[in-house]
Amino acid sequence: MILYRDGFLVDLFVDDSEPGCVHRAAKDLQGDLQKITGRMADYKRYLPAREHGCIVIGTLDNERFRAFLAGQGLDCGEMEGGWERYILRTFGEKDESLVICGSDERGTMWGIYHVCEHFLGVDPQYFWTDNEPRKREKLVIDPINYISQTPTFRFRGWFLNDEDLLTEWKNGGGTRNIDYPFYHQVIHHSILEKVVETALRLRQNLMIPSSFVDIMNPPEENLVRIVTERGMFVSQHHVEPMGVSHFGFENYWAKRGGKQAASYIKHPERFEEIWRAYAEKWAKYGNVIWQLGLRGRGDRPVWVHDPNVPESMDARGAIISRAIQKQWEIVADVLGSRDFFSTTTLWMEGGVLHNLGLLKFPKNTMIVLSDIGGSQMWSEDFYNVKRQPGRDYGLYYHVAFWGGGPRLAQITSPWKMYYNYTQAIWHGDTAYSVLNVGNIREFTEGIRANAEMTWSFASFDPDEFLYRYSRYEYGRSLPEIYREYFSAFHVIRSDRIRDDEVLMDGIARQYGQSIIRYLKDGEAIPEQVRQVCMAAFPVATQKWDAVIERIAGEMDRIGESRRPFYRDHMLLHAKTMKALYCWLENLWYAVRKDDRSYVAKSANALRQIVEDRKSSEHGKWKHWYRGDRKMNLPGLLEETESVL
């Protein structure tokens, strides 16, 4: 089939009654064709009658599209009732046309993006990797009859969490509705639209679009609108069940006469009122997966900030169970239906209470199990939780995390992720997977690996993935570079796999700050910090020297167009880790050798990386690091210099 050749460019036909998200995806296909051919394909919001040499896009529940299929002798009934499946089939006397048929609206979108990636060669992450499709003189595809399988995970998506770089990158997104030191702006709508487009191209169907989303604030409500208009499911952070964080609670009651104590024990009616108010707001948007639970301020157990909560674990379990049931009833009442999706996340205290048999959940609420963010290994809760027959279970996993890391450098290897998701597959926890992606740009490799795993786990192989990913992004297959990079991290613990817990960027920061407190105020250095520093240095820092030399040695072999991404994604990450290791090592030597001249060397390491990373703020990435409020390397440098 000819898509483009000798002045001919294929037409796109999408019936006007198709969902808006399908039209948006088809417009992405039209845009990709324009990038490659330099011409705009005709976009026709009806179905062809006698036209040939076209792409026809539709969803099985569209009656007009079904009639078109029947008229062409195309039988797609094998997908009837399927979840997010699609068929790609050439048709016509000479297979001169292509039909993209989805079992539902998202299946249709996945079919469109399959064509974009595999037929046109468009990188699903092109915005974040700066890997725009190349111009082509012709586009011709062989006859095809392809039907996708049901995805391994029903819900697959991202959580934009601790997104300090994203929020501060572009001005104009609006002001946050909370008094929280790390976030002042809302993610600019144009950036979130690119985030959502990327997720869709990777066949993700779920998004938690920011930390502490307050839907009562119009700029933050806009995030929910952007996600749902593109056909994705939208959900809420586990710290904000029903979309209500403690910050939201305080704002709501401040507008109604003053500060109110956030105590579900003393004033359940205040919570039930705000839950209903927020539910009515969220219910305006389709595809909400409601997060249920009762949490304290700042991602802590509810009893940390409410002294009225009894100390008895039985009583605590009963209180949280009662709140969850009430939330579920409020949602059912607001929607006028008991048929909706909901989750509860067993994070921290949730797993403990659940294992004690003290939590009760509505029958169809999915239970989400989590890893330990600072190690990306499943917590003991994952292994100890007794799965209830008939209950759906899912996952919350990290390629980015605050505060132990990963934060500014990719750290979660595909082998570690694959090991952990294998455990989940064995347990049957495939209803839901949400990935903490932080600020996205630093973690494109891990994000891509997770998307492929959750779409089709059986076909994923970590070694093959790195071979293919590096060739795709750098023009050269460099899996050995990745192996050396991931092997350079100092191993703190290896209980299950070699890199069970490693010295990450955020952990190095925490350790170094504890030494600074000792140097300034005489505060005791934790024993673990002493043990890790004794074991790590100087060998751990020297490993990064070798890795940096290895990465830099490949630079001239990378094509000129892909060199900036290779530098930003590989070399800068290795230099960042080397700088943090060198910073921590010299702080440690200042203590161990009782010589504060090492503090100056420590500061120099940070000063150098703050300067080096400016080279990654090129082109559209200008101002990328000005939102670095969490790792805050400039602030860490000032903190170090204060010792001098």
pLDDT tens for each residue of 404-416? 999 999 999 999 9
Decide: 544 and 578 in contact? Cβ < 8 Å. yes
- Please, which pLDDT band fits residue 133 given cuts at 50, 70 and 90? very high
- The tokens of 214 are what? 């307050």
Q: 208-227, pLDDT tens digit by residue? A: 999 989 999 999 999 999 99
Nearest-Å Rg of the Cα atoms of the chain is: 26
C-alpha 81/C-alpha 490 separation (Å) is 49
C-alpha 98/C-alpha 409 separation (Å) is 42
Instruction: List Cα–Cα distances, 438 to 210, 415, 442, in angstroms.
Output: 9, 20, 8
C-alpha 287/C-alpha 455 separation (Å) is 19
- The tokens of 457 are what? 């786990």
C-alpha 345/C-alpha 246 separation (Å) is 17
- Please, which pLDDT band fits residue 180 given cuts at 50, 70 and 90? low
Q: What is the pLDDT of residue 440?
A: 98
- Please, which pLDDT band fits residue 398 given cuts at 50, 70 and 90? very high
Confidence (pTM): 0.96
Q: What is the pLDDT of residue 77?
A: 87
380 CB-near residues (< 8 Å, 6+ apart)? 351
Question: Residue 290: in which H helix or E strand, if any?
Answer: strand 288-291
Q: Is the pLDDT of residue 586 over 80?
A: yes
Q: What is the largest CA-CA distance in the chain?
A: 85
Percent of the chain with pLDDT over 90: 86
**24 C-beta neighbours (distance < 10 Å), count:** 18
C-alpha 374/C-alpha 367 separation (Å) is 21
- Please, which pLDDT band fits residue 184 given cuts at 50, 70 and 90? confident
Q: 427-485, pLDDT tens digit by residue? A: 999 999 999 999 999 999 999 999 999 999 999 999 999 999 999 999 999 999 999 99
- Please, which pLDDT band fits residue 285 given cuts at 50, 70 and 90? very high
Q: Is the pLDDT of residue 179 over 80?
A: no
Query: What's the gap between Cα 27 and its chain centre?
Result: 24
Q: Is the pLDDT of residue 176 over 70?
A: yes
Q: 625-639, pLDDT tens digit by residue? A: 999 999 999 999 999
Q: 69-111, pLDDT tens digit by residue? A: 999 999 988 899 999 999 999 999 899 999 999 999 999 999 9
Q: What is the pLDDT of residue 281?
A: 97
- pLDDT (average), residues 183-193: 92
Instruction: List Cα–Cα distances, 498 to 180, 423, 502, 574, in angstroms.
Output: 37, 16, 9, 20
| Three-state DSSP state, 474 | helix
**pLDDT mean across residues, the chain:** 95
CATH 3.90.1710.10 fits 2-147, yes or no: no
542 CB-near residues (< 8 Å, 6+ apart)? none
DSSP-derived letter for residue 528 is: H
Q: 242-275, pLDDT tens digit by residue? A: 999 888 888 888 888 767 677 899 999 999 999 9
Q: Is the pLDDT of residue 343 over 70?
A: yes
- The tokens of 106 are what? 């998202």
Beta-bridged to residue 208, according to DSSP, are: 159
C-alpha 513/C-alpha 518 separation (Å) is 9
CATH fit for domain 155-442, picks 3.40.50.10310, 3.20.20.520, 1.10.10.10, 3.10.20.340: 3.20.20.520
| Three-state DSSP state, 356 | coil
Q: Is the pLDDT of residue 51 over 90?
A: no
Q: What is the pLDDT of residue 181?
A: 67
Instruction: List Cα–Cα distances, 358 to 274, 315, 371, 515, in angstroms.
Output: 26, 9, 21, 41
Q: What is the pLDDT of residue 219?
A: 95
Q: What is the pLDDT of residue 381?
A: 85
148 CB-near residues (< 8 Å, 6+ apart)? 85, 86, 87, 107, 110, 111, 114
C-alpha 475/C-alpha 135 separation (Å) is 16
Instruction: List Cα–Cα distances, 412 to 53, 265, 406, in angstroms.
Output: 45, 40, 7
313 CB-near residues (< 8 Å, 6+ apart)? 352, 353, 356, 358
Segments of the chain assigned to CATH 3.20.20.520: 155-442
Q: 357-386, pLDDT tens digit by residue? A: 899 999 899 999 999 988 999 988 899 888
Read off the amino acid at residue 392.
Answer: D
Q: What is the pLDDT of residue 567?
A: 97
